[in-house]
Structure 1
Amino acid sequence: MIAAIVAHAKHSSDVNIYQEGSFLRNPAIFMNNLDYSFDYFANKPWIDNNGNLVNVGKDFTRPSPKLHIRNQLPQNFRPAPKEVEPNQIKPTSHDRLGFFFKPLQNPSTSMSNTTSTNPSKPNKKRKTNPNPETNFLINLQSCTKSKDLTTAISLYESALSQNLRLSLHHFNALLYLCSDSATDPSSKDSALRHGFRVFDQMLSNNVIPNEASVTSVARLAASKNDGDYAFELIKRMNNEFNVVPRLRTYDPALFCFCENLEAEKAYEVEEHMGLMGLSLEQQEITALLKVSAETGRVEKVYQYLQKLRSTVRCVNEETGKIIEDWFSGQKVNGVSCDLGLVKNAVLKNGGGWHGLGWIGQGKWVVKRGSVDESGKCCSCGDQLACVDIDDAETERFAHSVAALAMEREVKANFSEFQDWLEKNVNYEAIVDGANIGLYQQNFTEGGFSVPQLDAVVKKLYERSGNKWPLIILHNKRLRSLWENPSHRNLVEEWNEKGVLYMTPHGSNDDWYVYWLYAAVKLRCLLVTNDEMRDHIFELLGSNFFLKWKERHQVHYTFVKGNLKLQMPPPYSSVIQESEKGSWHVPILFKGNSSQTWLCITRPNVCESRDEAQ
């Protein structure tokens, strides 16, 4: 039977000996002071105490260089019986790390000698038992997971009797469990009684609550139908302790007021949310829409429909049903607007809505239907719009890109580009030259494909009624094309026709701001397969950025050398308000990828508008 010595190179006299064939009861002790080589275990079979063969190299993951192998192995195992010659145990590549393997010099050495420790490393201190406060918190968390309110309250009473020092974590765990239990009718009374008592104790102990504390207590208040307490609590905690509320903090008060048809109080909560810089989501808007509909506030219904339009693309089933029921039972008298004024408003807003209020009079006709591939409503025949960001959003977007460019670019270079663009505004498409030229060129003979770029330019020229697009290329790339005799004539032709803009030195990593800024500023198409998922684009704001991409980005493919442009969709799957005052609302059902559209029209208005056109 052969054994091995494992030792540190710097401390070769400190030897730990392991006899092959005997059990290694606690490898953590054996390897406590050694950076044991993974290869030693991975290259030989082992048997655990149950007699199962363990293939370390297959069954266990090679550890990080910072981790000892002992963390990856079972606690009880032994080598499989195997005769190994001393010369077969060779030094490994880990020699450079300061440890190696040697044949055992004294095979008769017993396992009793294998527990020596490395004097260069002090023994780790034993973990002390947790204190009573920690034990209490651990037990509380266990009760929270199992939703055991009775045991948690018993533990709390015991902690008070022992005068334990309770922290924010203790109180928050109790408050959360009480607020969660208050939704169960069987435990509601107990949860409310103990929940408010815990909160009072928290304040008397001078433990400053945080947002989680306030949210739990607000939920308790809403459970007993006291929206006023929930809302006043938020304002008081913000004033006294500077607790910054989140959307979830306001929800109990808001939903309580909406369910009780206390519309004015609900609007007050919404206003306070706005002061805190919070934006409503579909759940909150739906609640406000419903209370407005049920209390007959038609102008508020219009307002929340517009908020839904700007917040979500498709509404859920619950919201769709509320909208459908309201329009089906209402006869709203709207204003009579000048058609030109309405069209200008729609154009200014980027299409898809005007925001001027209800238009026309009479009863609404509500149908559920579909929209064909071209964007035509199959119920009323209206053509839906491809919605763009509005004028204000466009200006903010362009300003954000310019500010980003000024931070990352040489300011003089980008300012020069801005000045040039102000004088050249007639482009209908911007071309990301590098993205197209390098498309599918990751092969041995691949390089910058001028034919691909030329094909895109010509295709855009044909589609736009003989208007040339603008190609943006880095000067290094353009210079190499100019120096190539086979491409020089084409580059000269592009240059003469004003098709090219060359980005300067220093913009290798940030040249994308040029083509992005140009496309935003000129409100034209952008031809690129770059999905712009970089974190830099996230800084621009995901909501209107995604809307802008849908409306302006053109993708492309080359199949066997043939170009195919994927133009923006002919319509947007979002809530739309037409010039005639009709509405189209997409509903996305849970678990179903297909959409159903609510078509909401007033026939008399539609007929009069058609005659006016």
Structure 2
Amino acid sequence: MATSPLTLQLQLQRSLSFSHSLIPNLYHSFPSFTTLNFNPRKQPTIQCSSRNSPVETTNRNSVRNFSKKIPSPSSVSHTDKSVSLESKSLNRVIEKKKIENENVVEKKKKKIKDSRRVKLRLSLDLCSKRGDLNGALSFYDSAISQGVKLGQHQYTVLLYLCSSAAIGVLRPAKSGSGTRTLNTQVSSVNRNDDDNRFCSDSDDDNRVLDNSVSVSCSSSEKLDENDEFKNLALRRGFEVYENMCMNKVEMNEAALTSVARMAMAMCDGDMAFEMVKQMKILGLSPRLRSYGPALSTYCNNGEIDKAFDVENHMLEHGVYPEEPELERLLRVSIRAGKSDRVYYVLHKLRSSVRKVSNTTADLIVDWFRSKTASKVGRKKWDKRLIMEAMENNGGGWHGIGWLGKGRWQVLQTSVGNDGMCKCCGVQLATIDLDPVETENFAKSVASIAISKEKNSNFQTFQKWLDYYGPFEAVIDAANVGLFGQWKFMPSKINAVVNEMRLKLPSKKFPLIVLHHRRIRGDKRDAPISKAVVDRWNNAGALYATPTGSNDDW
């Protein structure tokens, strides 16, 4: 394009040409930029051309008006910034919408997974209720294939079903009585509570366990089928347990107890006991049912020392054996001929069970009729020491060990309402708390009182009691004074105190416990006679409980 030397070029997006030259200017469009030419001549014509349009002629005023509309470089820059901000804002909106859509998709997926998890839980609970192991394993396999994450409850139900089938106490579509029996090696798993069933339904009519492990089969083929089912339960049970550990699902006492039961089915007492020890490591509290598999396995295997190790572990963790556990310990002790162990367990039965079942009674009779029982015992002993030991133990037993040798006389008899044996005519002793039980009871009462009393009032009472005690009897003076009427009568307290003194061997005043307001009197009741109060105080027999202290202690 021909231009004068004074031509000023400005690049724009479209091509424009302005000329005041007498010679017509030729215009050529450029593909990528626009050119503006200014020539200070007197020619009034102005040519405007576009890349795709013909040249148009306008007057000078139009050119001026048009030139005013051309944006300055600063305004172009400001526009670019606005466009950039709008672009960023649009990108943020698009990104936000994208995230929202992703969240909606995730929520839908989570809802589907939650729905599957809920259905799985309900299905497994129903299988537990019916004792349907195959159905439960089918639901489990389906959930794993669909990527459903199982929780603690689902794993616990599966382990319970597998362990029950492995030890032979799973009865599909049947219910058990829930009582504890002694004629089966797994009686420890048959409790009288709903904890044996790890399902949400607590209806007592829907028990899963039966109380017998015996399987009545009419053919060896049936026995083989039963063994195959137990092996399947063991294999799948340990598979479920491994998955639970691999997925780091939190363990609970019920799950570990089920694993211990599977170990019992394999006659592995060490593994069953290890499950109990794991509970302590995980901060779980073992229960009586937790010890049953290990104790039962050791007793059945004749491992007497390990069996009593389990019992010691129970006592250390505040779990006390009941008759089924003691019956197993007694049986294994008799088989091993351990007379000292038999003596220990018999006293355990005496102190904790009192009245034994027929099965345990038959076992005790078998012991006293055995040759081993006739050979153990002292030939000589000090009768005085025996009587002192019996008195110190609360009466009825001495705890020194077997006395005498020779065959025992075993007879069946009954005891009258007066406590007299109808066979030998001996009066049964009234058994009191032994010294250890008395001390533990006193400590427990003191700890409760101290925790509830204010200003160490009970500790003050303990010091007072150490100074003025001991007492042979205690009188709750408030109840005596109010007995039979609404009005407090101090004369009744005095009458009971005097009568009590006459009956006590030492003729000493009994301990009189009365709130200090009763002694001074209030608006309704007159104070107790000063002479009577002084008499009790001089004898060191009256303790006035302060405000905030419970006189029932």
Q: TM-score, length-normalised on structure 2? A: 0.62
Amino acid at match of 1:230: A
1:361-401 superposed Cα distances (whole Å, 9 cap, x missing partner): 11111223223344332222223222222333333433444
The answer on whether the counterparts of 1:370 and 1:379 sit within 8 Å (CA) in structure 2 is yes
Distance in 2 between the 1:290 and 1:162 partners?
51
Amino acid at match of 1:473: L
User: How do 1:406-425 and structure 2 match up within 5 A?
Assistant: 406-409=450-453, 414-425=458-469
Q: Aligned-pair distance for 1:431? A: 0.6
Amino acid at match of 2:374: K
1:291 and 2:291 equivalent? Answer: no
Task: Report what 2:478 is aligned to.
Answer: 434
Among 497, 500, 503, the alignment partner of 1:457 is 497
The structure with more radius of gyration: 2
Task: Report what 2:149 is aligned to.
Answer: 165
1:40-94 superposed Cα distances (whole Å, 9 cap, x missing partner): xxxxxxxxxxxxxxxxxxxxxxxxxxxxxxxxxxxxxxxxxxxxxxxxxxxxxxx
1:209 and 2:246 equivalent? Answer: no
Q: Aligned-pair distance for 1:433? A: 1.0
Structure 1 residues 484 and 227 mapped into 2: Cα distance closer, same or farther (>3 Å)? closer
Structure 2: runs of 5 or more not aligned: 1-110, 171-214, 216-225
Q: Aligned-pair distance for 1:149? A: 1.3
Aligned residue for 2:403, secondary structure, equals: coil
Q: TM-score, length-normalised on structure 1? A: 0.56
Structure 1 residues 303 and 485 mapped into 2: Cα distance closer, same or farther (>3 Å)? closer
Distance in 1 between the 2:523 and 2:468 partners?
23
1:500-553 superposed Cα distances (whole Å, 9 cap, x missing partner): 514243145x1122xxxxxxxxxxxxxxxxxxxxxxxxxxxxxxxxxxxxxxxx
Structure 1 residues 332 and 245 mapped into 2: Cα distance closer, same or farther (>3 Å)? same
User: How do 1:331-346 and structure 2 match up within 5 A?
Assistant: 331-335=374-378, 336-346=380-390
Greater share of helix residues, 1 or 2? 2
Task: Report what 1:523 is aligned to.
Answer: none
The answer on whether the counterparts of 2:487 and 2:525 sit within 8 Å (CA) in structure 1 is no
Distance in 1 between the 2:151 and 2:454 partners?
53
Distance in 1 between the 2:290 and 2:528 partners?
64
Q: Aligned-pair distance for 1:419? A: 4.2
Task: Report what 1:367 is aligned to.
Answer: 411
User: How do 1:15-34 and structure 2 match up within 5 A?
Assistant: none
Distance in 1 between the 2:117 and 2:448 partners?
50
Distance in 2 between the 1:403 and 1:242 partners?
25
Distance in 2 between the 1:152 and 1:407 partners?
50
Distance in 1 between the 2:383 and 2:341 partners?
24
Structure 1 residues 228 and 467 mapped into 2: Cα distance closer, same or farther (>3 Å)? closer
Q: Aligned-pair distance for 1:304? A: 1.1
Task: Report what 1:327 is aligned to.
Answer: 368
Structure 1: runs of 5 or more not aligned: 1-127, 514-613
The answer on whether the counterparts of 2:519 and 2:527 sit within 8 Å (CA) in structure 1 is no
Task: Report what 1:220 is aligned to.
Answer: 262
Amino acid at match of 1:136: L
Structure 1 residues 417 and 212 mapped into 2: Cα distance closer, same or farther (>3 Å)? closer
User: How do 1:66-105 and structure 2 match up within 5 A?
Assistant: none
1:261 and 2:261 equivalent? Answer: no
The answer on whether the counterparts of 1:427 and 1:469 sit within 8 Å (CA) in structure 2 is yes
Task: Report what 1:107 is aligned to.
Answer: none
Task: Report what 2:158 is aligned to.
Answer: 174
Distance in 1 between the 2:517 and 2:375 partners?
63
The answer on whether the counterparts of 1:481 and 1:491 sit within 8 Å (CA) in structure 2 is no
Task: Report what 2:423 is aligned to.
Answer: 379
1:387-419 superposed Cα distances (whole Å, 9 cap, x missing partner): 222333333433444444444445575455444
Among 114, 120, 127, the alignment partner of 1:136 is 120
Q: Aligned-pair distance for 1:345? A: 1.9
Among 287, 300, 305, the alignment partner of 1:246 is 287
Task: Report what 1:357 is aligned to.
Answer: 401
Structure 1 residues 418 and 262 mapped into 2: Cα distance closer, same or farther (>3 Å)? closer
Aligned residue for 2:411, secondary structure, equals: strand
Q: Aligned-pair distance for 1:191? A: 2.1
Aligned residue for 2:160, secondary structure, equals: helix
Indicate the RMSD between aligned Cα atoms, in angstroms: 3.1
Q: Aligned-pair distance for 1:493? A: 7.8
Distance in 1 between the 2:279 and 2:457 partners?
51
Structure 1 residues 457 and 144 mapped into 2: Cα distance closer, same or farther (>3 Å)? same
Task: Report what 1:506 is aligned to.
Answer: 547
Aligned residue for 1:456, secondary structure, equals: helix
Amino acid at match of 2:439: E
Amino acid at match of 2:501: Y
The answer on whether the counterparts of 1:470 and 1:498 sit within 8 Å (CA) in structure 2 is no
Task: Report what 1:188 is aligned to.
Answer: 230
Q: Aligned-pair distance for 1:333? A: 2.3
Structure 1 residues 135 and 354 mapped into 2: Cα distance closer, same or farther (>3 Å)? same
Greater share of strand residues, 1 or 2? 1
Distance in 2 between the 1:415 and 1:307 partners?
35
Q: Aligned-pair distance for 1:175? A: 0.8
1:203-241 superposed Cα distances (whole Å, 9 cap, x missing partner): 2333242211111111122224333332234345655x4
1:476-516 superposed Cα distances (whole Å, 9 cap, x missing partner): 112229997796388358537738514243145x1122xxx
Aligned residue for 1:368, secondary structure, equals: coil
**Greater displacement, 201-210 / 295-304:** 201-210
Q: Aligned-pair distance for 1:165? A: 1.2
1:305 and 2:346 equivalent? Answer: yes
The answer on whether the counterparts of 1:137 and 1:170 sit within 8 Å (CA) in structure 2 is yes
1:171-202 superposed Cα distances (whole Å, 9 cap, x missing partner): 11111112223324544333223222222222
Aligned residue for 1:382, secondary structure, equals: coil
Distance in 1 between the 2:145 and 2:447 partners?
61
The answer on whether the counterparts of 1:478 and 1:502 sit within 8 Å (CA) in structure 2 is no
Identity of aligned residues (%): 40
Task: Report what 1:347 is aligned to.
Answer: 391
Q: Aligned-pair distance for 1:287? A: 0.8
1:533-585 superposed Cα distances (whole Å, 9 cap, x missing partner): xxxxxxxxxxxxxxxxxxxxxxxxxxxxxxxxxxxxxxxxxxxxxxxxxxxxx
Greater RCO between the two (CA within 8 Å, min separation 6)?
1
Aligned residue for 2:412, secondary structure, equals: strand
Distance in 2 between the 1:262 and 1:392 partners?
30
Distance in 1 between the 2:482 and 2:405 partners?
57
Distance in 2 between the 1:209 and 1:420 partners?
51
The answer on whether the counterparts of 1:331 and 1:364 sit within 8 Å (CA) in structure 2 is yes
The answer on whether the counterparts of 2:509 and 2:541 sit within 8 Å (CA) in structure 1 is no
Distance in 2 between the 1:213 and 1:499 partners?
60
Structure 1 residues 274 and 425 mapped into 2: Cα distance closer, same or farther (>3 Å)? closer
The answer on whether the counterparts of 2:162 and 2:237 sit within 8 Å (CA) in structure 1 is yes
Structure 1 residues 274 and 480 mapped into 2: Cα distance closer, same or farther (>3 Å)? closer
Task: Report what 1:111 is aligned to.
Answer: none
Aligned residue for 2:424, secondary structure, equals: coil
Structure 1 residues 217 and 447 mapped into 2: Cα distance closer, same or farther (>3 Å)? same
Amino acid at match of 1:434: A
Structure 1 residues 400 and 271 mapped into 2: Cα distance closer, same or farther (>3 Å)? closer
Aligned residue for 2:375, secondary structure, equals: coil
Distance in 2 between the 1:385 and 1:490 partners?
43
1:234 and 2:276 equivalent? Answer: yes
Aligned residue for 2:244, secondary structure, equals: helix
Distance in 2 between the 1:235 and 1:204 partners?
20
Distance in 2 between the 1:482 and 1:155 partners?
75
Structure 1 residues 485 and 512 mapped into 2: Cα distance closer, same or farther (>3 Å)? closer
Distance in 2 between the 1:307 and 1:406 partners?
32
Q: Aligned-pair distance for 1:346? A: 1.9
User: How do 1:52-67 and structure 2 match up within 5 A?
Assistant: none
Amino acid at match of 2:339: V
